[in-house]
Chains A and B, each alone.
Chain A
Amino acid sequence: DAGVIQSPRHEVTEMGQEVTLRCKPISGHDYLFWYRQTMMRGLELLIYFNNNVPIDDSGMPEDRFSAKMPNASFSTLKIQPSEPRDSAVYFCASIRWGLGNTGELFFGEGSRLTVL
């Protein structure tokens, strides 16, 4: 089975531009998470969805960030306008929660964003 698929793998953009990161979770998984990795803060949770519905977006840094999950197989994280401090690796992860499941998330390979 294919893992979590993220695109693009690398994105270089200029300050002020819109950035859209994409994620396809593992089929059948009902939870999807967006994490951001930086040297200063490590892996921090931005937002997560359950059955396509946003459950907790308290980690979204500010209004410039938005995330959607229009269906069970696709999610986007959008930054508009982007700023240099948004430069990081953004990870998408998914899981199918159920009896006996204790939270081992499956991560994609990440999208490395550089904002100049």
Chain B
Amino acid sequence: DQQVKQNSPSLSVQEGRISILNCDYTNSMFDYFLWYKKYPAEGPTFLISISSIKDKNEDGRFTVFLNKSAKHLSLHIVPSQPGDSAVYFCAANSNSGYALNFGKGTSLLVTP
């Protein structure tokens, strides 16, 4: 049973525009959320995270928003660059757990 859901398998955005990747979760015990980025033939790498006590965390061009009441988070990339083209995985963890629960990923393509 998928507790972290990324319902958009793919997204295409023009360079310079905003990319918005969405993620929903079902487990109310999750209290920490992460985004990972994965290039082909490489392992996922950590991108940005947010604790459930916050509703926004920003790191350069990347911002993650958390809406706990809706059990929804989103990753905003502004401005998008061709090098951002990758698969983005949403992940969640609870204070009592040690393993991350991942979504299926969203493939982002940023076109020039």
Contact = CB atoms under 8 A, between A and B. Distances in A.
Contacts of A33: 99
Among A102, A103, A108, the one with the most B-chain Cβ atoms within 10 Å of its Cβ is A103
Nearest to A35: B102
B98 A97 contact: yes
A43 B89 contact: yes
Interface residues of A, number: 25
Contacts of A25: none
A109 B41 CA distance: 7
B62 interface: no
Nearest to B46: A104
A42 B51 contact: no
Contacts of A56: 99
Contact of B32 (A31, A42, A43, A103): A103
B94 to A, nearest CB: 10
Contacts of B34: 103-104
Interface string B31-70: 0101010000111111001010000000000000000000
A103 B93 CA distance: 7
Contacts of A85: none
B76 interface: no
Contacts of A45: 99-102
Nearest to A31: B98
Interface in B1-59: 2, 6, 32, 34, 36, 41-46, 49, 51
B43 A102 contact: no
A34 to B, nearest CB: 10
Contact of B104 (A42, A102, A107, A109): A42
A73 to B, nearest CB: 18
Interface of B: 2, 6, 32, 34, 36, 41-46, 49, 51, 89, 93, 98-105
